[in-house]
Amino acid sequence: MSTEAFVEVEDRDAVRIITLDRAEKLNALNTALTQQLLDAIESVGRDASIRAAVIRGAGRGFCSGADLAEFKDLTPDQQDRVMARADLTCRLQAAAQGQGKPFVAAIHGATVGGGAGLALGCDMVVAARGLKFGYPETKHSIVPALVMTGLQRALGRKAAFEMISLGRLIDADEAMALGLVNRVVDGDPLPAALAIAQTWAAIEPRAMAATKSLFYRVGELHFEAAMLAGRDVNAMMRSFREVK
C-alpha cells in the first residue's frame, strides 16, 4: 500500500482547498488517491471551523478518472478486491454531496470518467476554458457504471446517454450550455471557485446545512412530500433563527 501523499489541504479562513496532487498521472484515481481524497472530503464535514470547500487538481488537468494501470491487477478471481475497490469509488462519488458543507469544483484540462463524476458530485462547478470533459469509458470497452447515476441526475436521460454511449469530450462552453458547470473562466478556475466558497462561508452554517440537505431531498420526493419536507425545515429553522 502506498504511503505517498496525493492530496494537499489548505485552509483559508473558513474555506478548505483540497488539491488532487498526482499531477504526473493527470491525477488518475488509484486506490491511495481515492482513499486520501475521500478522507479529506469527509474531514470537511467534521471540522466545525470549516464552512465550505473547493476541490481542484494540480498540473495539466483536474482528474483523468480511474487509474487503469492499477485495475489490470483486479482480475475476476479476486472478487473481494474488486468489490472493495468499487465500494471505495462509490463512496468517493457521493462524498461531497453527503456533507453538510457546500463544495465547489474548480476544473481544468482533462476532467473525464471518475474525474467528471467527482466534479458533478460537488454542489457547484467552475470550469476553465480548455476543459476536456466527458465519459470516454465505452471507447475502452469499460462501462461507466459508477458515474452514470450522477450524470443522469445532473443532465437528464437523453443527453446523458449520448455523452456516455458516444464517449465524446466536450469543452467548457458546451458544459455550461448543458448546465453541468456554473461558471466558465479564462485561466485558473481557483479564484472564481474560492469566491463562491467564501460567499458560502459567510452564511450561518445551520442555514446552509439545512438548505443543502433539503435541496437534494426534494429532488427525490413527489411534489406533495417535497412541500411537506420544506414546511418542516422552515419550521425548524424559525425555531432557532438568529435575530439580526
2: in domain: no
95: in domain: yes
Structural domains of the chain, count? 2
d(CA 65, CA 198): 28
CATH number at residue 185: 3.90.226.10
At residue 241, the pLDDT reads 59
226 and 157 both lie in a single domain: no
Please write the tens of the pLDDT for every residue from 58-103.
999 999 999 988 877 777 777 788 889 899 999 999 999 999 999 9
38 and 68 both lie in a single domain: yes
Counting Cα atoms < 13 Å in the Cβ hemisphere of 20 gives 35
102 and 214 both lie in a single domain: no
d(CA 197, CA 189): 12
pLDDT at 4 over 70: yes
At residue 145, the pLDDT reads 86
> Which residues participate in catalysis according to the annotation?
137
Domain ranges, residue 137: 7-201
Please write the tens of the pLDDT for every residue from 204-230.
999 999 999 988 888 776 787 778 777
d(CA 216, CA 20): 26
186 and 223 both lie in a single domain: no
Instruction: Give the start-end residues of each E strand in the chain.
Output: 7-12, 15-20, 52-57, 103-107, 110-112, 124-128, 132-134, 183-185
pLDDT at 121 over 60: yes
Q: Which residue has the cell 474531514?
A: 43
d(CA 117, CA 56): 13
pLDDT at 155 over 70: yes
36: in domain: yes
137: in domain: yes
91 and 186 both lie in a single domain: yes
175 and 141 both lie in a single domain: yes
d(CA 147, CA 114): 6
